[in-house]
Structure 1
Amino acid sequence: MRFLTDVLQFPHPEEASAEGIVAVGGDLSTERLLLAYRLGIFPWFDEEQPILWWSPDPRMVLFPDDLKVSKSMRKVIRDGHFKVTFNTCFREVIINCAGVKREDEYGTWITNDMVDAYCKLHEEGVAKSVEVWLDGALVGGLYGIDLGTIFCGESMFSKVSNASKFGFIQLVQKLKAENYSLIDCQVYTDHLASLGAIEIPRMEFLSKLPGYTTL
């Protein structure tokens, strides 16, 4: 684990601490964030902390072919109450994600600076959002970073039961049709495991990244 300087670089993810922290400090510039994701690194910190850069081992991922859709969710999809859109209101999605309290996450880790940084990435066409609607109201969604063949999921929110799960399923099916190789889910949660995500060794994950040869 290192303290970052103004130089635009990261240590190798294999130099991470036992908890998975690769580096501390730096900034949330578009250039640094893009480099981080291409190297299998992502920021995760709260407002009282410096910027912490993570690459956990093992890594939670979902291979599109392994998506599990429960019988109850298949009924939800068939009912057709939810509607899904992509990239129509990115800022609203990330702000909603920031406001949701979750048992498996500490604090409100999506700070105002992170909202602004990821909105800039969205303007660059790299950060993408999924929106779930019910009767014209935004009731769920998620956002992440699109690396071309890998989608790095960041956060999701749900205001009504099954909304975020519906959005996630629709995204995975879309990515599968577009020949994406995997969805990066970062760390284990029971929710993701129920959808078919599994943990794999960090080096196996890194070997699948488009930027792996630059490590």
Structure 2
Amino acid sequence: MVYLSQELFFPPVSEANYDGILAIGGDLSPERLQLAYSSGIFPWFEEDDPILWWSPNPRMVLFLDELKVSKSMRNILNRDIFKVTFNKDFRGVISNCQHIKRDGQNGTWITNNMIDAYCNLHELGIAQSVEVWQNDELVGGLYGVDMGHIFCGESMFSKVSNASKVAFVSLVNHLKDKNYQLLDCQVYNPHLESLGCREIERDDFMKILRKEV
């Protein structure tokens, strides 16, 4: 594991350890975050811990044509129960992702510094959000980092049933319309698998990220 200085640098992702941790330290400046995502790396750490930078192998991704939408979800989408917007309330989305309670987790990895850092990226047009509204209340959404041909999803939240799924499906349809290649979901979880996501080798992910395929 490499300890980062103020120099804008990351080691090759092949140097990540078995768990996927590549480096420690550095900062959350827009320049470093942009370098990280363009290099297949993302930050993930808890409050009061040093910044940890990850590049897991395998990588959880969604090939957009492999999205699984259940019949019940199609019915919800067709009934227009929710209103979906893009980039209308980025800070509201990431703040809700910070505070939402999740099964099996005592706290959150979205620190206040992380919120400020990604809001800075949003102001630069790099970090983007999807909002789901019901009766003019923000009830679900997600945010991530837009690499132009890959969208790197970071976190999602839901205050009412199915709101985060609506955000996810809406994002995928948006990315398909713009001919994106991939939605990066970082690490495995069964909920993502149920939506059609699957694990691929990090080398294959990096080839797509570098537009080598």
TM-score (normalizing by structure 1): 0.96
C-alpha displacement at 1:68, in angstroms? Answer: 0.5
Correspondences of 1:1-215 after superposition (within 5 Å):
1-103=1-103, 107-210=107-210
CA 1:98/1:128 → structure 2, altered by over 3 Å: closer, same or farther? same
CA contact under 8 A between 1:141 and 1:157: conserved in structure 2?
Answer: yes
Q: Which runs of 5+ in 2 are unaligned?
A: none
Which amino acid is the alignment partner of residue 26 of structure 2? G
Figure out how many residues of one structure are paired with residues of the other and give that number: 212
CA 1:104/1:204 → structure 2, altered by over 3 Å: closer, same or farther? farther
* Partners of 2:105 and 2:62 in 1: CA distance: 20
Q: Which runs of 5+ in 1 are unaligned?
A: none
CA contact under 8 A between 1:147 and 1:210: conserved in structure 2?
Answer: no
C-alpha displacement at 1:210, in angstroms? Answer: 3.5
Please give the secondary structure, in 2, of the residue aligned with 1:129: strand
* Partners of 1:158 and 1:122 in 2: CA distance: 21
* Partners of 1:19 and 1:142 in 2: CA distance: 25
C-alpha displacement at 1:79, in angstroms? Answer: 1.3
Please give the secondary structure, in 2, of the residue aligned with 1:208: helix
TM-score (normalizing by structure 2): 0.97
- RMSD, matched Cα: 1.2
